[in-house]
Every structure is written in C-alpha cells, then in structure tokens.
Amino acid sequence: MNEFANIVKNKNVLLVGNSSFILEQNKAEYIDSMEFVIRFNLAPLHQHKHYANIGRKIDAWFFTMMSEEKCKRVYNSARIKPDHCIRHHSSPLPIGKNNYFIDTEIYRNKFKKQLNIDEWPSSGLCLVHYLIEYCSPKSLSLIGFDSFKNHNFYTNASNAHLVHNLDVEKTYINKLRSKNKIKVFI
C-alpha cells in the first residue's frame, strides 16, 4: 500500500459514502471538482444518469467483497472504471490499471483493538483511519457518510448493524471532525 499512499499524499481527497441521503442533495459538481475521489463497494455500478446527484468522478475504488467473481463483475460492469482498485479483504485482484491490497489480518484487527470493539469496522471507517495514519493527504473530506443511519443508495436494506458497531463509528468520525482531521459533508 505504500505505492497508494504516495498517490494520495498531499492531495485533497474526497471519500464518497453510499448513504441514500446523498441522493437528496445535488453534490455532483462538488464531488467531480475534487482532486482525488474514492468510492466504495458497489457504488461504481451505479454512477449513471439515475443518480446524477452523486457525480461521476471516481479515481479509486475501495472494496471488501469476498467473491473474486463479484469484484470482477462490479468492475467490468461499471460505466466509469477507476484507475486505482483497492481490495480490503482476502487478496489483491488484477483489476484496474493499478491494484492494491490492505491485509485484513494485520490492519483491520489492529484497528478493531484500537476502537475496542468486537465488530468489524466498516470499509469507510477503515479507509478514513488508513488515510489519516499512513497516507498524509493534504485534506480529507467525507460526503455520504451517516454511520448507516440510512440504507445505501443502491439498496433498500442495510444489515450494517449486524457486523459494525454504528455508535462507535459515529463517535470516531465526530472525534476526527472535532480535531479538524476531516471535513464531513453529510
């Protein structure tokens, strides 16, 4: 991941979360104007005219999906393909111009201990932490993150509460915001 850290170092980075709340706002111009935009999991499948409010820019895709076939299907079906693909579980996949891997056993478990939780931190939360601790972006902004208060914009249901500690995630994000380490636009 050192190569990816060098790519985002000293850049204005925007993480676009998948909350359905983002559809109620028109943030496309803001999102597309950012220097480096990262999206999550199934989001690349849904960047088209039906979701005009979420913009089109995607420089990197951060995903956790277990199935190699599902990951490839999402990438190959995406209308806008990111140059940088970062898998956050299992093993790297040869998709995108550049592909990277964060070793779950080392990184995610360390972060779980730091947060003092048994549940898995969400992909978004892990990436926020990783960028702050290891990548030195010029700035880090979040949009479409609401700690799973709303379901993802591409599904009508959310089981996040079954695998993530939503209260701890919200507290962690608010703590980073209060220390001016991140900017949050819900």
Q: pLDDT tens digits for the chain (186 residues)?
A: 578 899 999 999 999 987 777 778 888 899 999 999 999 888 887 766 567 788 889 999 998 866 888 888 889 988 889 999 988 766 778 888 999 887 656 666 777 787 787 777 788 888 888 899 889 999 999 988 776 566 566 666 666 555 667 788 888 888 999 999 999 886
Domain housing 145: 2-185
Q: Using the 8-state DSSP alphabet, how is residue 120 labeled?
A: P
pTM of the model: 0.87
Q: Which CB contacts under 8 angstroms, 24+ apart, belong to 67-75?
A: 68/93, 71/95, 74/41, 74/42, 74/44, 74/45, 75/44
- The enclosing domain of 89 has a CATH number of 3.90.1480.20
Contact predicate 27/185, CB 8 Å: yes
Q: For residue range 72-88, what is the model confidence (pLDDT) as tens digits?
A: 888 998 888 999 998 87
Contacts of residue 49, Cβ cutoff 8 Å, sequence gap at least 6: none
Domain count, the chain: 1
- What is the C-alpha separation between 138 and 149, in angstroms, rounded? 29
